[in-house]
Amino acid sequence: MQKVKLINIGCKVNFAETSTLKTKLEEKGFTITEKFSDAEIVLINTCTVTNNADSDCRAAIRRAKRESNGAFVGVLGCYAQLNSEKLANMPEVNAVYGIKEKFQIPELLGSQLRESNKSIEVSELISLNFDFAYSADNLARSRCFLKIQDGCDYRCTYCTIPNARGNPRSIPFEQLPEIFREVSDKGFREIVLSGINLGEYNSKNMYYFEDVLHLIAENDFGVRFRISSIEPNLINKKIIDYVCNSQSICKHLHIPLQSGSNKILKLMKRRYTSERLFKDILSIKSINPDVCIGLDVITGFPNETDQDFQQTYKFIENLPVSYLHVFTYSERRNTPAADFPNKVPMKIRKERTNILKQLSNSKLLAFYRGQIGKIHEFLPEKYSENEKIQFGHTSNYLNCKIISDRKLENSFYLVQINEIDTDNKIIATLK
Ligand code: SF4
Query: What are the pLDDT digits (tens) for 52-99?
Result: 899 999 999 999 999 998 999 999 999 999 999 999 999 999 999 998
Q: Is residue 189 part of a domain?
A: yes
Q: Give the span between the Cα atoms of 231 and 247, in whole angstroms.
A: 23
**Does residue 155's CB lie within 6 angstroms of at least one atom of ligand 1?**
yes
**Does residue 10's CB lie within 6 angstroms of at least one atom of ligand 1?**
no
Among 74, 102, 121, identify where a domain stops. Answer: 121
**Does residue 163's CB lie within 6 angstroms of at least one atom of ligand 1?**
no
Q: Is residue 261 part of a domain?
A: no
CA 286–ligand 1 middle distance (angstroms): 29
Q: Are residues 341 and 324 in the same domain?
A: yes
- Mean pLDDT, the chain, integer: 93
Q: Are residues 199 and 109 in the same domain?
A: no
Higher pLDDT, 119 or 58: 58
pLDDT (tens digit per residue) in 213-265:
999 999 999 999 999 999 999 999 999 999 999 999 999 999 999 999 999 99
pLDDT (tens digit per residue) in 266-322:
999 999 999 999 999 999 999 999 999 999 999 999 999 999 999 999 999 999 999
Residue 351: count of CB within 10 angstroms of its CB: 16
Q: Is residue 37 part of a domain?
A: yes
- Provide the percentage of residues in the chain whose pLDDT is more than 70: 99
The Cβ-side half-sphere exposure at 108, using a 13 Å CA radius, reads 23
Q: Are residues 144 and 211 in the same domain?
A: yes
CA 103–ligand 1 middle distance (angstroms): 24
Give the CATH number for residue 405.
2.40.50
Q: Are 231 and 202 in contact (CB under 8 A)?
A: no
Among 94, 121, 148, identify where a domain stops. Answer: 121
Q: Give the span between the Cα atoms of 349 and 89, in whole angstroms.
A: 31
Q: How far is C-alpha 100 from the chain's CA centre? A: 20
Q: Are residues 93 and 160 in the same domain?
A: no
Best residue for ligand 1 mutational test, from 13, 196, 234, 254 (most atoms within 8 Å of Cβ): 196
Rounded mean pLDDT, 113-134: 79
Identify which of 152, 272, 162 has the alpha carbon closest to the alpha carbon of residue 201.
152
Q: Are residues 114 and 8 in the same domain?
A: yes
Q: Are 106 and 30 in contact (CB under 8 A)?
A: yes
Residue 377: count of CB within 10 angstroms of its CB: 16
So what's the pLDDT on residue 126? 75
**Single-letter amino acid, residue 302:** P
User: What domain count does the chain have?
Assistant: 4
So what's the pLDDT on residue 376? 97
Q: Is residue 79 part of a domain?
A: yes
Domain membership of residue 288 as a residue range: 283-371
Predicted structure pTM score? 0.91
Q: Give the span between the Cα atoms of 345 and 299, in whole angstroms.
A: 11
Identify which of 412, 406, 421, 369 has the alpha carbon closest to the alpha carbon of residue 394.
412
Q: Are 112 and 160 in contact (CB under 8 A)?
A: no
Residue 174 is given by DSSP the state: G
Q: Are residues 210 and 131 in the same domain?
A: yes
Q: Give the span between the Cα atoms of 229 and 265, in whole angstroms.
A: 18
Residue with CA nearest ligand 1 atom 8? 159
So what's the pLDDT on residue 137? 53
Classify the phi-psi angles of 284: left when phi > 0, otherwise alpha if psi is within -120 to 50, otherwise beta: alpha
Higher pLDDT, 57 or 11: 57
CA 419–ligand 1 middle distance (angstroms): 38
Q: Give the span between the Cα atoms of 290 and 320, in whole angstroms.
A: 10
**Does residue 35's CB lie within 6 angstroms of at least one atom of ligand 1?**
no
Among 235, 250, 265, identify where a domain stops. Answer: 250
Torsion of CA 317, 318, 319, 320, to 10 degrees: 90
End-to-end CA distance of the chain: 49
Residue 249 is given by DSSP the state: B
CA 161–ligand 1 middle distance (angstroms): 7
CA 194–ligand 1 middle distance (angstroms): 14
Q: Which phi and psi (to 5°) does residue 159 adopt? A: -105, 135
Residue with CA nearest ligand 1 atom 2? 156
**Does residue 196's CB lie within 6 angstroms of at least one atom of ligand 1?**
yes
Q: Are residues 106 and 9 in the same domain?
A: yes
Q: Is residue 260 part of a domain?
A: no
**Per-residue confidence band for 138, with pLDDT thresholds at 50, 70 and 90:** low
Give the CATH number for residue 223.
3.30.750.210
Q: Give the span between the Cα atoms of 384 and 296, in whole angstroms.
A: 31
Q: Are residues 172 and 208 in the same domain?
A: yes
Best residue for ligand 1 mutational test, from 12, 163, 197, 228 (most atoms within 8 Å of Cβ): 197
Q: Are residues 46 and 70 in the same domain?
A: yes
Q: Tell whether the model's pLDDT for residue 139 goes beyond 70.
A: no
Q: b/e string for 91-110 if b means 16 or more Cβ within 10 A?
A: ebbbbbbbbbbbbebbebbe
**Does residue 164's CB lie within 6 angstroms of at least one atom of ligand 1?**
no
Strands 133-134 and 143-147: antiparallel
Give the CATH number for residue 340.
3.30.750.200
